[in-house]
Amino acid sequence: MNQILEIQSSQQQALHFLLNFLKQQQYQFTAITPLSHQRILDRKRSEKNKQKTLQDIFGWNLEFTITDLDPVLFSLLLEHQLLEVQDNTYKSLIRVASLEDELFIHSAFPTTQQDAVFFGPDTYRFAYHLKQYLSFQANSFKRAAEICCGTSAAAIHIAKHFPDHKEIFVADLNPKALLYSQINIDFSGFDTIHPVQSNLFSGLEGQFDLIFANPPYLIDPDQRQYRHGGNELDGNELSFKIIKQGLQRLNPNGRLFLYTGVTICQDGNRFLQHLEALMKQHQNIDWSYEEIDPDIFGEELEQSAYQHVERIALALLKFEVKTDRT
């Protein structure tokens, strides 16, 4: 049996209340890059004596006063230690982002903690491209797994758009990611999505029709779980492991979809070179590699670990087990 996490706590109930409150207020917030977020945060902090909105408090993560928030909600969040007290102001210890009409709990800004759970532009792009990919597949999936699930936004997104599925397991090593995933899943209303604590595939049993992942792909000096993709292959260690292990876990007609950043050096694409060598052992699998953005996270190139890197590209990798067409 899979070890499906069942997390029940008063804090969890408080977060459910928050999501319901925000839903009733038709709350929407698009999470942007940390650099852009900091610019807007600085601008908003310069606006004195202005009442804070729900987006200011739970989106931009601005400090606020007791009069800025509904008194029942304020008391509940304070009681369950979901607010940081700063003199006469407060700051939410979580943020809430939206994707279409769904809301998602994720970590406060800035995401400096080792166990921070991130939601941002990669989340939106990953969900969009995964949905587009599945929309053009002849065979629907029944049993799926998301590796390095974070908030489980992608799993919830495809569960909504592909209702013929039977079960989706969302796996992560980070307990906080699984806590937030459980809250987000419960709020979405899907009883077919199951969080599992797992180091990649170690906690998952059986084969899958679909495996999808948006793993960490940077070299992070602080080795934060949501960013650090491993020191091997210039941050692509996790991505490579997911492919190598995932190919062994696909059913006939099974598919693996990976969204990741890839480092490109003067001597070429080491990740792709390793992948080409691996795929020579899998003649029964069709696969493709496509760069959809040639240059992301340019600021990372200033880090010492990236001094040999010319750019970081955003890539989609797709794998499908061949069927016998004879």
- Burial track 243-277 (b if 16+ CB lie within 10 A, e otherwise): beebbebbeeebbbbbbbbbbbeeeebbbbebbee
Query: Is the model's pLDDT at 230 over the cut of 90?
Result: no
3 state DSSP class of 90: strand
d(C-alpha 99, C-alpha 153), whole Å: 8
Q: How many other CB atoms are found less than 10 A from the CB of residue 311?
A: 17
How much is the pLDDT for 298? 93
Strand partners, 195: 170
Model confidence band, residue 222 (pLDDT cutoffs 50, 70, 90): confident
Structure confidence by residue, pLDDT tens digits, 100-138: 999 999 999 999 999 999 999 999 999 999 999 999 998
N- to C-terminal Cα separation, the chain: 37
Averaged pLDDT for residues 68-82: 96
Domain with CATH 3.40.50.150 in the chain: 121-321
Q: Which residue has the tokens 């601008």?
A: 43
pTM, two decimal places: 0.94
CATH fold group of domain 121-321: Rossmann fold (3.40.50)
pLDDT tens sequence across 208-218: 999 999 999 99
What pLDDT is recorded for position 6? 44
What would the mean pLDDT of 76-97 be, rounded to a whole number? 95
Residue range 177-194, pLDDT digits in tens: 999 999 999 999 999 999
E-only strand ranges, the chain: 83-86, 89-92, 94-99, 102-107, 143-147, 167-172, 193-197, 208-213, 250-265, 285-293, 309-321
